[in-house]
Amino acid sequence: MMIRSSFSLRASAWQLVLAAVLAVPATAFAQPDRANTSLRCAGQAAAPGHLALQLGKSTLMRMPEAVAARSVGNPAVLEAMLVAPDTLYVAGIDIGTSNMIVQGRSGVCNVVEVVVGIDPGALQASLAALMPEQKHIVVTGAGDTLVLSGTASDTQAAGRALELAQAFVRRPARALSAGGEKEGATPTNPTTGAGAGAGTGAAQARVINFLNVGAPQQVMLEVKIAEVSKTLLDKLESGVALGVGGGSWASVLASNFLSGTLRGGLAVGRATGDRFGVQAEKQEGLVRILAEPTVMAISGQEGSFLAGGKILIPVAHDNNKVTLEEKEFGVGVRFTPTVLAGGRINLRVAPEVSELSREGVGISASGFTGAAILPLITTRRAATTVELQDGQSFAIGGLIKNNRTTNINGLPILGELPILGALFRSTDFQHDRTELLFVVTPRLVRPLPVDYQLPTDSVTAPTRTELFLGGKLEGAPPR
């Protein structure tokens, strides 16, 4: 029993010694990291190196000798871990710049400048998948900036590429804002990854557009504006006036004694003042407005046209100050064309017709006598977006006003009699009808050649012989 107990004690002792020996390498490997909490470079530092990383990607960097200590300038931008005695795992975790100082076992320090930017390869692959026809758009990265260069087929393709690039730079910005910011930097050992130094982080990604449009085309817009306003007015009035006295009856053409205004009618009366009259009136008015403006604009740019005028309207401000504000009126149009593939034209057009109204608004102010009348502007406006081929036309507008007004004035009871009641009442009937039509035609045009001949180039002044003897107002054209 004593022998077995002694053997058991010896076996337990050897197990403890073996466990201690196995634990020594891990302790010995980590012990220098905890001891070297600050860099102590011996001699002159090596020439600085440079490393470029994309956001969210990593790489392995092998050093000339085993690493004893290191320091990361900005842990918010860069993360470095020791995966082998002479190899570092470096990852870019934020957009910005940083540096890293690595000390070898010999005491020599190496400085590495690191730039973390956006990966342009992902955007280039997305452009190739979503816009395969745009093969000449190139994406490059410059730190926190994506640069679009090359040539796009049209302005719409360039706009789509720019929107896609902006979506790519918004995605890392959201990820950074969700992850938060890291603050502080302290020197560390090769294993833990915290460090101290300098650098910039949390940069806002942006897009720079250097794209060129392959063939910027010009669009000529022909607009025909037609407005027809028709007014029909019918009146039928009758009345009886009785007076005291004698006299004889007479039949004359007279003015309307019911309203006192000059109208065509028939009055029959006596000298005593007894009168019976019937007055009728019919008016028809027709107003026709036609304008045909032509405007030129480059694809993607806005063009405008206005044929009219301006009026000044007083605008009150604080401290009893009044300024004059300009208001435009007339026939105008604003449009923005975009030339698409295949010659199709995307067109945003907003034609407008405005005029000064005969009615006004009366205003009064303290300290001033009387009242001022400000003019009113009647406006008819339309706005739409369409797509059509070169030379095709479309129309917008139509009937915008159709008013009917009927007024009956008469004596109570007498004016309501079935037949005789017409002698004791007056009837007004008015019909207003307005139609407005816009016909828009876009056309693709090319610039004229340099030696384009104008119609006036062949016009010359006549000589005295041609003027006095021949009676010509123009001379012979030049040869």
* Region 43-59 average pLDDT: 79
- Looking at per-residue pLDDT, the higher value among 448 and 241 belongs to 448
**Band of the pLDDT at 171, cuts 50, 70, 90?**
low
Name the average pLDDT for the chain: 72
| Ramachandran area for residue 157 (φ above 0: left; ψ -120 to 50: alpha; else beta) | alpha
Q: How many CA atoms lie within 13 A of 455 on its CB side?
A: 0
Helix (H, G, I), strand (E, B) or coil at 135: coil
Range of weakest confidence among 262-276, 361-375, 411-425? 262-276
Residues 422 and 462 in one domain: no
Are 225 and 438 in contact by the 8 Å Cβ rule? The answer is yes
Both 303 and 352 in a single domain? yes
What pLDDT shows up at residue 264? 44
Q: What share of the chain is helix, strand, coil (3-state, %, to 5)?
A: 20, 50, 30
Tokens of 57: 């990607």
Mode of pairing for the β-strands spanning 249-252 and 206-209: unpaired
Whether residue 137 sits in one domain with residue 106: no
For residue 442, how many C-alpha atoms fall within 13 Å in the half-sphere facing its CB? 27
Inside any domain, residue 248: no
Same structural domain, 322 and 463: no
CA 17, distance to chain mean position in Å, is 78
| Same domain assignment for residues 209 and 342 | no
Residue at 409 is within a domain: yes
Q: Tell me: do 340 and 373 sit in the same domain.
A: yes
Collect all residues with Cβ–Cβ distance below 8 Å to 321 and sequence separation of at least 6: none
Residues forming a β-bridge with 113 = 50, 99
Residues 417 and 473 in one domain: no
**DSSP 8-state assignment for residue 120:** H
Residue 34 scores a pLDDT above 50: no
Note whether 154 and 293 are same-domain residues: no
pLDDT tens-digit profile of 302-337? Answer: 888 888 888 888 787 877 788 888 888 888 888 899
- Residue 261 lies inside a defined structural domain of this protein: no
Q: Residue 137 domain-assigned?
A: yes
Number of domains in the chain: 4
Q: Decide which of 408 and 96 is more confident.
A: 96
Question: Do residue 470 and residue 326 come from a single domain?
Answer: no
Domain annotation covers residue 41: no
pLDDT band at 280 (very low <50, low <70, confident <90, very high): low
- Single residue among 117, 149, 180 that ends a domain in this structure: 117
pLDDT above 70 as % of the chain: 66
Q: What is the CATH number of the domain that holds 100?
A: 2.60.40.1080
DSSP letter for each residue of 140-152: EEETTEEEEEEEE
386 or 10: whose pLDDT is higher?
386
Q: Which of 92, 117, 142 is the last residue of a domain?
A: 117
Host domain of residue 304: 220-226+287-445
Cα 23 to Cα 26, 68, 83, 205, distances in angstroms: 6, 21, 19, 48
In a domain, residue 38? The reply is no
Q: Which residue has the tokens 């604009």?
A: 297
Is the domain of 440 the same as that of 463? no
Q: 35-49, 127-141, 409-423 — which is least confidently predicted? A: 35-49
Cα Rg of the chain (Å, integer):
46
pLDDT of residue 137: 92
Residue 165 has pLDDT above 80, yes or no: yes
Among 222-231, 344-353, 404-413, where is mean pLDDT lowest? 404-413
Q: How far is residue 197 from each of residues 81, 101, 113, 191, 337, measured CA to CA in Å?
A: 16, 8, 11, 17, 54
Give the residue with greater pLDDT, 423 vs 381. 381
* Statement to judge: residues 317 and 378 lie in one domain: yes
For the cut 70, the answer to whether the pLDDT of residue 241 exceeds it is: no
The span from the CA of 223 to the CA of 218, in Å, is 16
Contact 347, 387 (CB under 8 A): yes
Bridge partners, 81 (sequence order): 89
Residues 468 and 329 in one domain: no
How far, in Å, CA of 308 to CA of 328, rounded?
Answer: 7
In a domain, 23, yes or no: no
Q: Which one is predicted more confidently, 455 or 241?
A: 455
- The pLDDT tens digits of the residues spanning 330-386 come to 888 888 998 887 778 889 988 888 888 777 666 655 555 555 667 788 888 888 898
In a domain, 34, yes or no: no
